[in-house]
Structure 1
């Protein structure tokens, strides 16, 4: 009897000590939700759907993409921040919902360092400067000279206060010392329509959105706002090539989990996502959408987010950008 009790005690101790490991090995034990802060369509939703099918194969559980739009993306962010930190609810975030919206809306529902654990960056979509064909400028320095000469005659179309496009415009004004008139629209579609119609003279937009208009001559690209030229528009120079330094504009997508998610789950997710993004088929799908894969380790993604915060939050505060 004494031997039996000793055996049972040892068995119980072994089960207790193995408990956390068994729990981690069991992940995922049910479908995994990827919450997207925008409606279906667009580059963020597209990125989630590109990675979902391959992650599902790798992890052995269904991956469900769930769209939760509203409040500058904060409805989705708040939902994930408050979710159980068990690795079954994830946030496919972008610049605005993750970094900008809590400051712009003055609603500190979450902060990325406090409420989330970065898993990996997923994709990058570069932006560019484009003008209506009636604008005589062929380079960004020529556009800046035109604005200086006729400060009230050149207007920039923004899809809304606090968007990446708008913040990039503010950063550009700060870097060059040239001020222009910004016209805010309720979304990118009406802003683009007025640019195409010549009611405004230029804008900042994603390469993926602008590319068709550039190729058919309805707008003219002056520069890509990225560290290097982009393969979709190889003849368009960068800002730095035109003598303007310190200005970069790319929208990112990245995957995060609620704070407190076990490190083993984060590492497993990161490794699985790297395998997915290393796939040529997946890279081609991002390329066709006007984006490029951009995996980073959890540590690298954390450093990247800190750098982005250090650049853009001061711009928001200095320009006093708030949501209406």
Structure 2
């Protein structure tokens, strides 16, 4: 990975901490008008829900109107490009995901913006996991059972995903690689049609977003075997992780985080980050994030920079293993 990634943000933060950074005039009057949170997904999804959860509290903290604006399209690239090209004054920020900052740079060539260099990371807000689900007819009640079955029937099991390069695809491909099994990938245009076919028995398994996975598992339409993250989910603590079940070191998770245009003053970036972290510390906010199927994350901007760098490298390996191509 290019070692210049995020150097601008780090230099500004270090200089500010040392007291040697001269505060720009624009930063002294921040915020001076409404703030836009750009969500690169359609309204109603988890990213949109989280933005509208944080927005009103951020409005109270900053004393200016906060508007959530959905700019969906091109696998989050449309909204990300819009923010990357926006004035770097803190009044337009992006609520992106691991897809935006970690996965897409490995999938898409020739983008008009660079996800690593054209943003100043602010803070992450939540981590999300997928759930390994199987159709009730599949003779597997644990991860070990599923691996054994797949080895008995190489190439017979099919897994669904909500598109090439999606978290569901990357999770399943990594699972197959680490388990040493062969499965068929069936990509769908979204989670809903994939879940419909899983319930109908047209595919045998999938890694699905925890928000939609758990209700279907509780209804008995599918069977939940494990979660894909490094630790058990707060939303379903009874489910083991894939790692503890059978595949040590397995970890695939998504996340949501705020970023501003690259040249944003460190003073403004720190102000926004500090206020968002205060909001995330509120019990009512934490409870609602957990209820959405995600888990709160409170990092400093510096920690977030390091987190993205690490996740970018991890995502590159996942994309390579999966053979995912931009659709």
Q: TM-score, with normalisation over the residues of structure 2?
A: 0.90
Cα shift at 1:318 = 4.6
Q: Which residue of 2 aligns with 1:181?
A: 184
Are the equivalent residues in 2 in contact too, given 1:161–1:184 (CA < 8 A)?
Answer: yes
Match of 1:67 among 50, 67, 70: 70
Whether 1:243 and 2:246 are equivalent positions in the alignment is yes
Cα shift at 1:135 = 0.7
Q: Quick check: 120-129 or 256-265, which moved more?
A: 120-129
Whether 1:41 and 2:48 are equivalent positions in the alignment is no
Cα shift at 1:243 = 2.9
Q: Which residue of 2 aligns with 1:153?
A: 156
Q: Which residue of 2 aligns with 1:94?
A: 97
Structure 1, unpaired ranges of 5+: 1-18
CA distance in 1, matches of 2:172, 2:321: 13
Are the equivalent residues in 1 in contact too, given 2:34–2:66 (CA < 8 A)?
Answer: yes
Whether 1:116 and 2:122 are equivalent positions in the alignment is no
CA distance in 1, matches of 2:286, 2:72: 26
Match of 1:280 among 258, 283, 287: 283
CA distance in 1, matches of 2:322, 2:223: 28
- The equivalences for 1:1-324 within 5 A come to 20=23, 22-324=25-327
Q: Helix, strand or coil for the counterpart of 1:170? A: helix
**Greater radius of gyration (CA):** 1
Deviation string for 1:292-312 (max 9, x for gaps)? 211211111111111111111
Number of positions where the alignment pairs a residue of Structure 1 with one of Structure 2: 307
CA distance in 2, matches of 1:321, 1:125: 21
CA distance in 2, matches of 1:272, 1:261: 16
- How large is the Cα RMSD of the aligned pairs? 1.6
Cα shift at 1:113 = 2.6
CA distance in 1, matches of 2:238, 2:287: 21
Q: Which residue of 1 aligns with 2:11?
A: none
Are the equivalent residues in 1 in contact too, given 2:107–2:319 (CA < 8 A)?
Answer: yes
Q: Helix, strand or coil for the counterpart of 1:92? A: strand
Are the equivalent residues in 1 in contact too, given 2:100–2:115 (CA < 8 A)?
Answer: no
Are the equivalent residues in 2 in contact too, given 1:104–1:322 (CA < 8 A)?
Answer: yes
Structure 2, unpaired ranges of 5+: 1-21
Q: Quick check: 232-241 or 304-313, which moved more?
A: 232-241
CA distance in 1, matches of 2:221, 2:71: 34
Q: Helix, strand or coil for the counterpart of 2:80? A: helix
Q: Which residue of 2 aligns with 1:11?
A: none
Are the equivalent residues in 2 in contact too, given 1:95–1:164 (CA < 8 A)?
Answer: no
Cα shift at 1:97 = 2.2
CA separation of 1:253/1:143 partners in 2, compared to 1, >3 Å: closer, same or farther? Answer: same
Q: Quick check: 72-81 or 143-152, which moved more?
A: 143-152
Q: Helix, strand or coil for the counterpart of 2:81? A: helix
CA distance in 1, matches of 2:250, 2:312: 15
Are the equivalent residues in 2 in contact too, given 1:119–1:254 (CA < 8 A)?
Answer: yes
CA distance in 2, matches of 1:297, 1:93: 17
CA distance in 2, matches of 1:160, 1:207: 17
More helix, by proportion? 1
Are the equivalent residues in 1 in contact too, given 2:97–2:256 (CA < 8 A)?
Answer: yes
Q: Helix, strand or coil for the counterpart of 2:225? A: strand
Deviation string for 1:232-256 (max 9, x for gaps)? 2222111222131222122100000
